[in-house]
Every structure is written in C-alpha cells, then in structure tokens.
Amino acid sequence: MANNNSMIDLETLRHSTSHVMAQAVCDLFPGTKIAIGPAIDDGFYYDFDTPQNFVPEDLVKIENRMKEIISGDHKFVRSEIPKKEALEYFQKLNEPYKIELINDLVDGTISFYKHDTFTDLCRGPHLESTGKIKYFKLLSIAGAYWRGSEKNKMLQRIYGTVFNTKEELAEYLKRLEEAKKRDHRTLGKALDLFSIQDEVGPGLVLWHPKGARIRVIVEDYWRSKHLSSGYDLIFTPHIGLGKLWETSGHLDFYKENMYSPMDVDGQDFYVKPMNCPFHIMIYKSRLYSYRDLPLRWAELGTVYRYEKSGVLHGLLRVRGFTQDDAHIICAPEQMPEEIRRVLKFCINTLNAFGFRDFNFYLATKPKEKSVGDDKMWNDAIKALEEAIKAENLLCTVDEGGGAFYGPKIDIKIKDALNREWQCSTIQFDFNEPERFDMTYMDQSGKRVRPYMIHRALLGSLERFLGVLIEHYGGAFPFWLAPVQIKILTITDAQNKYADKVRDALSGYRVEMDLRNEKLGLKIREAQMEKIPYIIVLGDKEVSSGTVAVRTYHSRETVTYNLQDFLSILRQEHSLNNI
C-alpha cells in the first residue's frame, strides 16, 4: 500500500474504517454484538445489536474514540484459521451473528483481520494500518433487519463516509446538505404535493391537488408524445385470474413480490404486479399478419408489488405505482429500426423534463439460465449495440448481466446533484411470447414468433416525480409548476383589478392572495411555494394598468404593461413548445 493517502483505493479505505468504527462502538458500549460492516457507494456502514438505542450525540463519542484508535497507527493483520477454530473463537466471544455467517461458509480456512484489540471475520483487503485513515465522518443511525429479513431481529446501523482528502470529504458533506434540502419527502409536505399515511398503508401514495396537477401535466405530455410517435394507448384491469399469472410464469419466479390472492366466485384473482400479460392477451384476441406489424402499445398501468417495509422510501420505493409501460411487437426484420426509434424517443422525452446527462448500460446474455435461441440473443444484442452507436452514445457493457428472458439497455439520468437514477429501460423478452404462444402470419403464410420489447421511458410515475422534485428542488420550470403565477394585492382596493388581471391570464395556472395581510408576508409565502411568477398589485398598478412582477429566482421587481407580460409568458418553455 502506498504511503500517499491519495493513492488509497476507496473501497479498501472505507472497509477498513468500518472496522475501526466497530471497535469504537464495542469499546464504548459493552455488550454490543457485531453483525456486518461493508464498504458501500460513498461510504460504509456497520450493523450492531446493542442493549441501548444509539442517539445522534453518540456519533460524536464514537468519532472521538475512532480518532484515538487511528492515532495509534495499529497494523491490520490478516490470519487464516480452520472453520472449526473460527467458530470456537466467536462462540467464546458470544457473537451469534458471526457464528451464523461462519456456519454458512464452506469448510476450510476462514480469514480474519485484527487491528489493536479488535478482530473481525473478513475477506479483506484492508489498509496497512489505521493511521492511513484521515478524513472521515459518521453520518446517521438507522434500523436494519439482520440479513434484510423482517423475520429477523432489528439491528442498529451506523452510516459513515471517508475520503482520501479533506476537500473531497467537505465537498461530499456539502452535497449531502443540499440533498437534504431537496429531499422529495420534505418538499412534498412543504409544497403540499403528496402524502403517505399509516392509516392508508405504507407505500401507498395520496396525491394532493397540487401534486396531482403536476402528475396530470406529465401524463398529458406522455400521452401526446406517444400518440404523435405512432403508439396506440390501451387500458387493462388491476386484477387477473391466477391462471394468467401461471401462464406468464410470475407465480413461479415472482410470487414473493405478489400479494395474496382474493377469492372471487371460487377462483383466485391477483392484483397485477406487471402489465405485460394483459397486453399479450389483447394481442392474442385476433390473428395478426406481418402487414399489421409493428404494434406499439402503451399504457400508464398501475401495478402493486410487495416491498419490505424497511426499503420503502417516499415516492422512490412504493407498493402501488403507475408504470410508464409499453410493448413493441414486431417482425425480426423490423426490430433494429424499432430499437433505434425507441432509444431516440427515450432520450428526447428525458430531455424535455430537463435531463441532459445520461449513462447507458447494456446487459447481455447470462451464463447460467436463459430462454430463447442464440440467434435471437445475438440479433437483439446487435440491435441494441447499433442503436447506441448510431446515436454516438457511450455505453457500459454488463457482460452476462441480462435477465434470463432477454438483453436490455438501461438509461440512467444524472440530476442537478450529479446523482444517478434509473428511469428508462429497453428490454427484450423471449420468454412470454413463448409461454403465451404469440404468433403472426409471415409473408409465406406461416405462423412465426414475433419479437416483443418491453419499454419504459420514465419508469414509474411515482419514482420519476420524486426524482423531478429533487432535481429541481421543488422549483419546477414554468411548464411543470402546479401554480405558475400568484397575484398578490396590497389592500382590498386592488381586488377588482386583480380579477381583471387573472382573467387576462386565462389558460395559465393562477392563484390569488387577497388576504388582508402584510405584503411582505404574502411575498415570503409565495416564495416558499416556489411559484415562478409573483404579481404584486397596488394603487400605482391599478391606475397605470400595469403589473409589478417578481420571479422566483430574483428578488428584483419589474413593472410591465399587462400585454407585454403576456408576451413574456407566451415565450416561456411551455408544454406546447417542448
């Protein structure tokens, strides 16, 4: 390991720091049982079973003890012992979680790492010594079920981060603070957009009027672009017979994510976890010819999937959500062009919502189980690769990372804080066309199998809107803002003129604040609502037929003739000119 801290591999640095944190916790809180402590993206964590609950003040104590351990510059020493001896070691220490982990390992030697007085089960690698750790910070405390199962005990997880330089740590902590300000759960409440209430059920979203207004704008844009891009819109039920999900295979490989069936007239019905079987049944309602293809069918279909309570997270991880779903059914010779077409559609749609920076990931055929012949896989992968090249895009190839039923492209967007979010997916499916025996008549009059491509542009509306809220920090662009303009009066004497101004702004989303309150209070509240334009009306504006305008991003007030202001609004980046 190089002496220069800037050369230290971050994963090694973070894993080593998690061990130091675990020692500090055990030193400060006798009786603590240790679980696991891996390096993760941007940091590390360790799970603990303790007699007491950690509080934020404890993080400072733990950090101080960590600094003492680090200053001792203790060597990280690797050793390997037989599995039986490893079990005996942790049995003496009464560490049940380590014992369980060791029991799951194959017989043979087990690697340990020791520094100072702390020894842990670990594959490594680790730093040369604790003294190499310089710039770290403990961040938060959370609950975590042992091994992620709600059937197991809830442990306490401490998150932290560490970097090679002071500047990198400071920049990361700054981004964290900004992320807190942009948290969609906080902004959703402050802006009265949505709520998730225990009385309704975890993971089920209630859209309030302003949030619903944004959702409708997004949906209307989505529908208009699909109709103008050669798609047909369809609607399907929320429930389906068990036999349907048996045919699709979901009851075999996806049942743990499906809710228990309901008995209807002696038959099992399931709420749908996916829309595709319904789309396929529409296809099978008649026989199609090669002349009918390609078919592009899109639906905003609400689905329901079981998610563990510990992973639910605002709009980003829910149990009921509306998928931006489409299926393209085409002949083999049409497939390459359809892939190029849908890739461009994905990019253009994401651009419209303000996303310009993307990462593309191509997942290819898994080495283990897969369905479909080699030619289908090779042709599909080639079409995906060529579409990426045709658009001059850079792509990361995940060799063997595809689903068993087909290769795919995932498009991940980067938001204002440079965070990566999964949205669009272009996914081949060689499985369901086979299971449902989908066919069409080719030019020779023979029944042949079509290609079917699953496609999502936005992913789920709930998740996408959560990302949008955080990307814009709740200050939406004019065309997306639930309230575009707010009219404030100084006294009741301007109310009649305010009505006239509102009527002139017909077609825009306008609210009025005619309350008998101080103007400063009204302006502050409108600013907190992040409204793009605030119009202030006093006696001067009434007599001159003007409007005094403030924008959200400016504290300056500019006076316009009403017609001139209308011209400015018409030039805004509205839904009609995206």
Q: Mind telling me the catalytic residues?
A: 276, 305, 323, 325, 327, 408, 454
Provide the β-strand partners of residue 525: none
CA–CA dist 53, 323 (Å, integer) = 39
> Quick check: helix, strand or coil at residue 510?
strand
| 497, 541 Cβ separation under 8 angstroms | yes
Amino acid in the structure at residue 54: F
Q: List the structure tokens of 156.
A: 């306490």
| 54, 156 Cβ separation under 8 angstroms | yes
CA–CA dist 395, 410 (Å, integer) = 10
Residue given tokens 């019905």 in the structure block: 269
- The CA–CA distances, whole Å, from 171 to 41, 67, 197, 417, 421 equal 15, 21, 35, 11, 20
CA–CA dist 236, 300 (Å, integer) = 9
- The CA–CA distances, whole Å, from 395 to 403, 407, 411, 435, 456 equal 18, 14, 10, 32, 18
Q: List the structure tokens of 267.
A: 């038959």
CA–CA dist 241, 245 (Å, integer) = 7
Q: List the structure tokens of 259.
A: 């809710």
CA–CA dist 412, 317 (Å, integer) = 17
Order the strands of the 288-289 sheet from edge to edge: 288-289, 440-441, 447-448
Q: Is 168 exposed, middle or buried (0-12, 13-18, 19+ CB in 10 A)?
A: middle
Provide the β-strand partners of residue 324: 300
Rg (Cα) of the chain, in Å, rounded? 29
CA–CA dist 549, 505 (Å, integer) = 14
CA–CA dist 385, 382 (Å, integer) = 5
> Quick check: helix, strand or coil at residue 529?
coil
List alpha helices for 82-195, DSSP H.
Answer: 83-92, 96-104, 166-182, 184-190
Q: How many CB atoms lie within 10 A of CB 462?
A: 23
- The CA–CA distances, whole Å, from 226 to 299, 345, 578 equal 10, 9, 14
Residue given tokens 């993971």 in the structure block: 203
Cis omega before residue 277 (within 30°)? no
Residues in the chain: 578
